[in-house]
Amino acid sequence: MRTTLFFNSSWIGQLFVGFGLFFCSFFIQYQVLVHFVSPRPLAMLLCVTLESGKVAAVVWHYYLGCLDDGAYPFSIRLSSAIFRFGLVTLSLVCSMLFLTDRLDRPNLNRIRQQRLTALAAEATKETRELEKSYKRRQQQLIHRQQQETGNLTGRYDQRINELTRMLRQEMDNVVNGVFKGPRYQEIERLLTMEKQDRQLALSRLQSRQATALLSLEQDEQQGLVQLQETFRARRQQLRENDFAGNDQVHDHRIVSLLNTFDSIFHRRCLPLQFVFFFSILISLLMETGIILAFATITMAIIPALHIHHYTGLETEELRVETSQNIRQEDLRGRAAMEKVRRRGNLAVNLTMQQAEEEPGS
């Protein structure tokens, strides 16, 4: 009773392991192939065909391997080996693609987006600070220019006011009924020249001030452009950076395990290396588990399969032989009936010929 329970439990366990790993491998292979094969029904059909073919190839390989060489020749063995090796290799590659896609730097997008957000905030802050700096420099420049303009106009206005006062005083000096004498004309000339010099100096000053303001604005624009180019280059670097050496982008469990491994054995293993070997390990365990489960099940029931196989062949041979015998008997009966029919027709024809000949004779 215990032995029967053990074998039944082992049988059920093997079936569970085999079909469980089979469906896991099928799901992984479909998730990968659907990105390379379109439309989706074609990818599904391809996965079903390949995975079913893998199980069938394993079962028939171990079953036919127990027969004689004539039943399982070398050419068929070689074709089966190539087919099984190709299917296992395909499943390994698909499993590695599936696992590495989920284990390779799972936090990469989040960390990259955080860095880009922080960089955008830094760019906005520095842009505002640069604009404030140029605004402050512009105000300082305008204040200095106003002071320069005030000093310039103050100097000339003092001379002009003095000459204007002297000109008014000279207007009161009337000589022989004429108040615009040589002195008045000289003062008037000096006043006109002073006003012209003031206007010329003011124009030159305003031109220099406008040039200085324009230069400051150009410096501001150039500084903003350089700042934007700098941050654009930094953003591009962030987008192209794979962050392979940053532990934040990797799974914290993998990082903790590798840190523990490093502290014990003093050998540093990169997270990407761990993901690669871990994917290979899972893939190999899945494929070898499928092969082992169905191989052991097949080897365990080979006697029953052998009897069922040969019984089925003998039954089919008997059925075919019986069918052939029945067909032959049917053909023989039809041939005999055809012979009787022909003889009857011949006798009737002879009788009719004799009856036709008698009245004439």
How sure is the predictor about 326, in pLDDT bands with cuts at 50, 70 and 90? Answer: confident
**Per-residue pLDDT for 330 more than 80?**
no
State mean pLDDT over 259-283.
83
d(CA 153, CA 195): 10
Asked whether the predicted pLDDT for residue 24 surpasses 70, the reply is yes
> Residue type for 135, please?
K
Amino acid at 208: R
| DSSP one-letter string for 43-107 | HHHHHHHHHHHHHHHHHHHHHHTTS-TTTS-HHHHHHHHHHHHHHHHHHHHHHHHHHHHHHS-TT
Interval 270-286 mean pLDDT: 84
Does position 304 have pLDDT exceeding 70, yes or no?
no
User: What's the DSSP call for residue 175?
Assistant: B
Confidence (pLDDT) at 70:
64
Decide if pLDDT at 11 tops 80: no
Angle of helix 252-265 relative to helix 271-300, nearest 10 degrees?
A: 100
Residue 19 near residue 26, CB atoms below 8 Å: no
pLDDT of residue 89: 86
- Residue 263 pLDDT > 80: yes
Q: What percent of the chain has pLDDT over 70?
A: 86
For the ranges 95-99, 256-260, 321-325, which has the lowest average pLDDT? Answer: 321-325
CA 1 – CA 56 distance, rounded (Å): 33
Q: How many other C-beta atoms lie within 10 A of the C-beta of residue 167?
A: 16
Would you state the pLDDT for residue 321? 75
pLDDT at 195: 79
Question: Quick one: which of 212, 215, 224 has its CA closest to 132?
Answer: 224
As a whole number of angstroms, the distance between CA 87 and CA 74 comes to 20
Q: Are the C-beta atoms of residues 51 and 30 closer than 8 Å to each other?
A: no
Mean pLDDT of 327-341: 77
Region 235-239: what's the mean pLDDT? 87
Three-state secondary-structure class, residue 178: strand
Rounded CA separation 329/321 (Å)? 12
Question: Is-contact 94 27, C-beta < 8 A?
Answer: no
Distance from C-alpha of 6 to C-alpha of 299, rounded to nearest angstrom = 17
Q: How far apart are CA 54 and CA 291, in angstroms?
A: 9
Q: What is the mean pLDDT of residues 179-184?
A: 65
Q: Side chain identity at 261, as an amino acid letter?
A: F
pLDDT, greater one: 171 or 145: 145
User: Which tokens sit at 332?
Assistant: 């023989």
The pLDDT of residue 177 is: 55
Contact 11, 297 (CB under 8 A): yes
Measured N-to-C along each axis, helices 74-103 and 271-300 cross at an angle, to the nearest 10 degrees, of 140
Highest mean pLDDT (candidates 66-80, 317-331, 345-359):
317-331
Q: Which pLDDT does position 193 carry in this prediction?
A: 84
| CB half-sphere exposure, 24, CA atoms < 13 A | 17
Quick: pLDDT tens for 86-141: 888 888 888 888 888 888 787 888 888 888 889 889 988 988 888 888 888 888 88
Per-residue pLDDT tens over the stretch 80-94: 788 888 888 888 888
